[in-house]
A and B are shown apart, each in its own frame.
Chain A
Amino acid sequence: MTDVEVKACLARGREGDEKAILELFHYMHPHVAKLVHANLPAKESAEDLTQQVCIKVMGNLHQFSGKVPFLHWVSRIAVNTCLNQIRYERHRPEIRLADLSEEEAGVVEHLAVSPNELDSSEKVAAAELVDKLLQALRPADRLLMRLMYLEGHTIEEISSLTGWNTALVKVRAFRARVQLRKQYGMLMKENL
């Protein structure tokens, strides 16, 4: 759906056309679900949070000015809702090798000794290990690392998705990478 089509849907919605509003809903829902799954706070159910974001968006549709693309506006609401949910979660100060499962420890070892790519079962363990490493970061940094390295967004894209300026994105990315290096370095040392 293009921005022009979105505006047309909104205009029809203002005239009371519910079909147009449902079109908008079905357009934005996969985007919201993807963002929420990517930034899922540990204790929160992704489905509940997706519902919460969708209802918030639909309830505030009249406030959309059209200055930014519709999906960017939706993304900011989704990101802010996720951040608000995880703000009060305590992050773990550090991870020890003993906290990892056998498979996750195997991934650390594989990466240290072999330049070969991980096989598919190890990739699942790698995803779990990354989740654990990210838990040690602050919520905003965690979100940024997910968007940047797991979702593959550029700095400019992250800036428009989150509403943070590019300088802030770069600073947060730098800070998060330092923290990740520190965490992973400790795991490597223990593995030796």
Chain B
Amino acid sequence: MNPIDDQLKRLFQAAAQARPQRSLSPSYGLETRALAAWRSTRQGDVLWDMSLLIRGLIFASLIMGISLLPLININKNTNPFSEDLQLADSTVPFDDAP
């Protein structure tokens, strides 16, 4: 083995053995902060669901409105007095007046 490689290998082996064992317990308050982070996303989920529901309702009412529009027009045209009213409202030319 290349002397540099050999020495590097021994150096890293020694360093790996010397690595200090640190305390791995969570620091004070971290548990609460982590839980708060999780809760905030849950609230976000609920809000997102609500906004989705509201958007859905708006969209549904829009479609309902559009589909009812021709019906309203038909109702307007089928007014039994509509033709009479139109006649009464029109000007009648009297060309053969003396």
> A interface vs B, CB < 8 Å?
13, 16, 18, 21-22, 25-26, 29-30, 33-34, 37, 46-47, 50-51, 54-62, 107, 111-112, 117-118, 120, 122-124, 126-127, 129-130, 149-152, 180-181, 184-185, 188
Contact = CB atoms under 8 A, between A and B. Distances in A.
Contacts of B34: 25, 54-55, 57-58
A45 B38 CA distance: 23
A58, A118, A180 — most chain B CB neighbours (10 Å): A58
Contacts of B30: 29, 50-51, 54
A84 to B, nearest CB: 18
A62 B44 CA distance: 11
A18 B32 CA distance: 11
B4 A181 contact: yes
Contacts of A50: 27, 30
A25 B14 CA distance: 33
Given A18-B35, A61-B41, A123 B4 contact: no
A22 B35 CA distance: 7
Interface of B: 2-5, 7-8, 10-12, 14-19, 22, 24-27, 30-31, 33-35, 37-42, 45
B15 A150 contact: yes
Nearest to B18: A123
Contact of A149 (B12, B22, B26, B41): B12
Contacts of A59: 37-38, 40-41
B4 A129 contact: no
Given A54-B26, A150-B16, A185-B4, A130 B37 contact: no
A29 B18 CA distance: 23
Contacts of B42: 16, 62
Contacts of A58: 34-35, 37-38
A126 B15 contact: yes
7 contacts: A51-B33, A58-B35, A126-B11, A126-B14, A130-B12, A149-B12, A181-B2
A126 B30 CA distance: 33
Contacts of B33: 51, 54-55
Contacts of B24: 29-30, 33-34
A16 to B, nearest CB: 7
Given A181-B4, A188-B7, A129 B35 contact: no
Given A51-B27, A111-B10, A185-B4, A127 B22 contact: no
Contacts of A124: 18
A102 B81 CA distance: 111
Nearest to B27: A47
